[in-house]
Structure 1
Amino acid sequence: MRTDHGLQVVRFGLIGAGRIGAMHARNIARRVPGAELMAVADPREEAARALAAQYDAKALDVDDLLKDPEIDAVAITAIAAAHSELIVKAAQAGKAIFSEKPASLDLEEIDRAIAAVKQAEVPLQIGFNRRFAKDFAQAKKVIAEGGIGTPQLMRSITRDPGWPAGLSNAAGVRPWTIFRETLIHDFDALLWLNEGAEPVEVYTKADALVAPQYKKDGLLDTAVVMITFDNGAIATAEANFSALYGYDVRAEVFGSKGMVTAGRHASSPLVHYNAEGLQQQTLRSDEEMFADAYTEELIEFAAAVRNKTTPSPGGEVARRALRVALAAMKSHEESRPVQLKEFA
């Protein structure tokens, strides 16, 4: 048994060599104690080879990676549509599984994935990174300790960075991305911050305001979703794909005894005062805002693999957030409030 920093080494295979995959590869290889990147797989063989070469890892196809007896755990960072099938395959191969969100794009698929994980008795963790950010975790602690009383109003925001020329990749944004791949983070955060409560109704307003010329192709780039909980709390989740001032992710919970907020705009406390007023540098990407959170979630996952414990958030948590996303989609399609009981 090989150790690192006194920890038994967890040997990872990574599936998906895109931007997020490259970031996770770097964290596994450089920032997670007791972890080693053994192999990379991607349908684009050149991308897999290039990423693997950076960390002296092997470039394999998916089947060979899952069969490799040297690999203990799999990090799934492929396109969202492939996540649930890869979870099933990894479970059947007996691998511990870390999967980027969303775990699936529909309930039937996620139920199949959860069943496969249970049958194989392997750990599964989903990459809802906000839970691992220090400010979000502290907000959760304050709420759990009664610091804001009973939640009444909640808000979660995701505004992706934009460009003056507009949404440059609008043609490549898949229909429903804003709900199942972007706002899924917000839905999870709201459910997590309002622990013990269940969402009962969802109402959506959405449009293509950033790139209206792609609306006919199914693009929605701006959305607000209102969620009513059974404890009376009313929450809004909003997203937009073109914040010119940078990457903007925040949460707010207002209650009977106070309020707590998480998230920030600035990349540094430095404020420049000059004749034009005040200037401050802002965050420009998820990797910048959540650098520590992306690392911490993998540290927790590796510890669960090493100690044979159940990591969190798991498949059932991902299913709860997906139900809200699907209800939001239906609300948009039918222009009406949707009851969560419509999605078993």
Structure 2
Amino acid sequence: MFSRRQHTHCSIAPPDLLAQLAIDGTSGQKEAAVRALATSAAFRQQRAVMGRLTRQFGLPMGQLVGFNISATRRLTVYDNQTKGRTFLPGVRIRGWGEPASKDTSVNEAYDGSSETYDFYQRVMGRNSLDDAGMELVSSVHYGVAYDNAFWDGTQMVYGDGSGQIFQVGGLTRALDVIGHELTHGVTEFTAGLAYSKQSGALNESFSDVFGSLVKQYTLKQTALEADWLIGEGALVPSLGKALRSMKAPGTAYSGDRQPATMDHYVELPDDNDPRNDNGGVHINSGIPNHAFYLAAMEMGGNAWEQAGKIWYRTLTTKLHANTQFDEAARSTVEVAGTLYGTAEAQAVEGAWREVGVLP
């Protein structure tokens, strides 16, 4: 029997932002936000159920959904054709190693999936999301002017954006958005962090961490050079510069409620009201996000080389469904000492202390 909180759907658009715009936005924003919330609700159960099956029963995701596990078919992009249809994946447009399409969104989804695959394989030694060569499937042009992108438990789905909330085409352009959502797949196959309150905020934070690292690795940026923004340029300019800032939580967009420290932790119920964000999973993720930023900056250099590997080892070997902030923090400190040594462990511990998770 699946618990209620496992019946969730995580997407790149914070539900509290969509709910805020549905109430207080312009007429165009209200319409777009209501449409995004209604469409997203249709996927709340599938993602959690598929992930639970793969973890609990050891069933390969590719076998469950009919996708391939093959080094020669590592990704495929489909077109849902903006017809408001609910079936996925749609019309096959481009497979692995095939020439670029005339469709920009297809090519951006292809490139972003490939770059995420490369990051996990080359940096973390992971063979796709399930570590068993799972094909990465994407569908673009989902719905009609749909303001969201998400991992549904089996594949990536991208809306085009309405130009009212997200810029048209902005969701496939944002490499960190693609890396973020695909990392939800990695989390499903490993820690399985429950999408509620602190464990859900950790789930979101690990996706932000690796979404940012995919972008930094691809652009060859050091921790100092990186902007530490998630989805920079994806929103319409009137709403803000990005969806989240790991460097300065709470500053990304108008109405951003992310705290940087536990002093400002937002206690919210997990009650299916989008304003409450599954108990604040997109909101309170600002705290572990900022801890990672601080640790990476203290270590210096390329964030994926030490800090990223500490967080990856922690996610894939130390955590469980109900992990809370303090346990995750202690685990990263332990892993840092095991992988590297005292200086790195102290850097990680200091970061968690600065955000108030560790005393």
With CA pairs under 8 Å and 6+ residues apart, which has the higher RCO, 1 or 2?
A: 1
Q: TM-score, normalised by structure 2?
A: 0.27
- Structure number with greater Rg is 1
